[in-house]
Chains A and B, each alone.
Chain A
Amino acid sequence: MSGVGAQAEKVEAGKVSAAESARDVADRLKLAEARGLNATLYWSEAMLAAEARRVDALRASGVALPLAGVPIALKDNIVTTDAPTTCGSRILEGYRSPYDATVVSRLRAAGALIAAKTNLDEFAMGSSTEHSAYGRVLHPLDPERVPGGSSGGSAALVGAGVVAAALGSETGGSVRQPASFCGIVGVKPTYGRVSRFGLVAFGSSLDCVSVFGRTVDDAARVLAVIAGQDARDATTVAQLPLELQPVPGSLTGLRIGMPKEYFPADLDAGVRAGVDRAAAALRALGAELVPVSLPHTAYAVPTYYVLAPAEAASNLARFDGARYGVRRVGPAGDLPSLYRATRGAGFGPEVRRRILVGTYVLSAGYYDAYYAKAQQVRNLIAADFSTAFGAGGVDLLLTPTTPTPAFRAGEKTSDPVSMYLADIFVSAVSLAGLPALSLPSGRSDGLPVGVQLVAPAFGEARMLAVAAALEAAMDATGEVR
């Protein structure tokens, strides 16, 4: 399988047709299915063939296609007209959107082949992709383990070499964490950089369409296509196009902060060794590594688990059985019984848990103690980062992405809080709305570990360039100890 850039170049040059590219990815999707990866919720040779014909017609029209014939998988909470969108939930079983998400329109216009819709934790709520109504996704290297989540299907497909790039979504780390688990690159853009129109909402103030790639370059090329203000999403921000920079040969003059709160005593040794390897590589490239402090880090997970469920409870109110999706009517036959039966049968336990939490924290009498307080803490967390990048004078932050490598399936499903803590190093960045990525830094007992780079708002271009330099300087498939 070629990388994104190489594949697009071959198709643009006419060395490979879009149809061949489509057939190749179909073959790899079949193999993945045969392995029982359970990473996809929908794909079809007919859809791929139609995509290939569309790309050939575009090519014939002579427009430049930066993703010509590049197969890209989409997390199944991004709506498309040519496939169902289930969000990994029973409540949307069979639902088909009458419109394409903005990111899908942009991918299509750039010549990409929409290859598959991928499995996910129901409504993107989870850190292991075990909370899908359609079964768990296997880790591409160890079937006993989870690929991370909630974008586990996209991560597993990229990790298994089925596609070079895929879209996921992040609310609190749902791309960086599985990227780290699966040994691939996961890039979360600045909030407001990429349109959310057509991304089924979970926590709207946090949700970001995000990108997986085999390499930094794969992810960066896709991000450059989907980025940009969208008249249909009022929270997107007018910015210059994301111009990818050449990979720097030297990082002299670059200051990279290592926040002490991200290196607790009980941090997994392999993960720590991965960060050490990255730090050493950055130093060798000329960067200066300095200790910094983000003092409100400990509050990130609890803050996230007030705000995200509050928004989710409201966002998921529309799934009521009245207009689309699954509809059940309870014994009483009245309106409340329609809601109870539809939502009771349609939502899985993790979604129900978060709706209950979210409803509670917004209730009269509790709003100030929970939601309002969490908003205040969110501001403090964002201020920590502003201080580090401002007065602290650092250009980027380097941290571990996750506290451990991929854990075993079933290990955390009965303990929601331990599952939530799998996102401890990624959720603060989401609350601050900043761009960040996870980059593989090696293997620990055969399992990938990753490091996280965090940049100031709209600092994606430099973050990606530094990540590419670091990627080239590390042996990310080698054991770290």
Chain B
Amino acid sequence: MTTWETVIGLEVHVQQGTRTKMFCGCLSSFGDPPNTNICPTCLGLPGALPVPNAEAIRLAVRGALALGATVHPVSVFARKNYFYPDLPKGYQISQFDRPLATGGSVQFESPARGTVVCSITRLHVEEDAGKSLHDRYPGRTAVDLNRAGTPLAEIVSGPDLRSPAEARAYLVALKQILVYAGVSDCSMEKGTLRVDANLSIRPAGQSALGTKTEIKNMNSFANVERALTAERERQVALLESGGRVEQVTLLFNAATGVVRPTRSKEESHDYRYFPDPDLPPLVLDAAFIDAQRKALPELPDARRARFAEAYGVSAYHAQELTNDRRVADYFEAAVKAGAEPKSVVGWVLGEVMAGYNASGQFKWTPARLAELIAASKDGRVSHQAAKQIFDYVLQAEPGEYTVTGIAAKLGLVQVQDTGALEGWVDEVLSAFPGEVARFRGGEAKLIGFFVGQVMKKSGGKADPKGVTPILQKKLRS
């Protein structure tokens, strides 16, 4: 039986996080009432002309540099011609034979192959089309042109991915890089990141590529993996039953998990690309490109390595801490505020992340967290109490507060005063003469029992670190 190798390449569109559209001054926002962010240019009215948005170009350059791509000093806008009602000009302004950037790579951990470097073939800038709404009016199609003309960077990978799981891992890594670089928020939900996937299979060991199909309409990374898995299985079944793969475009249905061909008419497009005469070649000088390179933040891979090196955290923890740039920034700020890195890891990956994932924000500043960790460390509050204090702040959202203030308010300050501790110890020792005798007879593990009784007597306020030495002293005397 043939062993099949899967070959996957991804085309990812990300929307740069600009305030305005690619070629006009309309807002580039999401979720506004239909056809409110429009003007003669993005409506394609007669006589209107495009003018490039410098910020959209700058963000695309940053993205390209973050992916290690070569940004070209001259690139050319080209028209991609096709008719569709949500494409107001009858062509999309894109780039074709002279893209903004070529080369580059994304490194990620493959579930099966270890560290994989996936090549990036090209990154080019273009404008988005509007949206056709087929479900708004029965039997008719409505068109919303708010999205028409919003900026996109299209990032094309080489055919370097070997499984649906790798495709997903690549997307996670790519998204991290682009979010770190501040290019885009990369939200599939908002449509600021979209994926078209190409997949082919070939007998293991064969170097020629098989016939590929393209899959569209996936709304999450998980669904990209599901769709590719379904398509791989479809192709394997086809070839093993003696059929052949046709080069088609398929749509994924998330509800059924099935991929289905789109109408085949759309396959024969001849886009008649040619340089857009309304836009001079895009010329970027070396100083600008260099300045963008210098302005790049530390990227996820570098940051992971540094976290492991500088803070002695494990590779796993370094990964977890750096997945989200804001979490990584938070971690570093807490460490800078004086907290011990290993304790911060526990707090950040536990309570802090839980709160952040739930609310999308950090209600504890890194400095306050460092203060809480310090109080727990020096025994002013117990570890248990520290968690209670943390949760209290999440829920009650007090305005101005200090850790000790909240601890006092909740009655969670530990008693460290020797006199008070000795009083509780004396009461416990006199209440349990039998156990005292057994301890003195050699049952050293009973110390835990005595500590527990003191804690109980104190109503949980005794600092266990202070109690033990006093017990030891009195039991031995």
Contact = CB atoms under 8 A, between A and B. Distances in A.
A367 B43 CA distance: 29
Given A92-B46, A314-B79, 13 more contacts: A79-B47, A97-B47, A198-B48, A200-B47, A201-B46, A204-B278, A205-B277, A231-B51, A232-B51, A313-B81, A317-B89, A323-B44, A335-B83
B431 interface: no
A317 B91 contact: yes
Interface string A154-194: 00000000000000000000000000000000000000000
B279 A362 contact: no
B50 A234 contact: yes
Given A231-B51, A234-B278, A322-B85, A314 B91 contact: yes
Given A98-B40, A205-B277, A197 B48 contact: yes
B25 to A, nearest CB: 10
22 contacts: A87-B46, A98-B45, A101-B47, A196-B47, A198-B47, A200-B46, A203-B277, A234-B278, A235-B277, A311-B274, A313-B272, A314-B79, A317-B81, A318-B44, A318-B89, A322-B85, A323-B43, A323-B44, A335-B85, A362-B272, A367-B274, A371-B274
A53 B43 CA distance: 32
A320 B277 contact: no
Nearest to B23: A234
B239 interface: no
B270 A197 contact: no
Interface string B55-78: 000000000000000000000000
B47 A323 contact: no
Contacts of B280: 234-235
Interface string A67-111: 000000000001100000101000010010111010000000000
Contacts of A78: 47
Contacts of A95: 46
Nearest to A359: B272
Interface of B is mostly: loop
Q: What are the 8 tightest A-B residue pairs by CB atom distance, in nearest-first order?
A: A317-B90, A205-B277, A204-B277, A362-B272, A198-B47, A200-B46, A322-B85, A318-B44
A362 B196 CA distance: 26
Interface in A217-236: 231-235
Interface string B271-284: 01110011110000
Interface of A: 78-79, 85, 87, 92, 95, 97-99, 101, 196-201, 203-205, 231-235, 310-311, 313-314, 316-318, 320, 322-324, 335, 339, 359, 362-364, 367, 371
Contacts of B337: none
A324 B45 CA distance: 8
Contacts of B90: 314, 316-318, 320
B88 interface: yes
Question: Which of B48, B50, B51, B85 has the most chain A CB atoms inside 10 A of its CB?
Answer: B48
B143 interface: yes
A382 to B, nearest CB: 15
A196 B272 contact: no
B52 A234 contact: yes
A322 B79 CA distance: 20
Contacts of B44: 318, 323
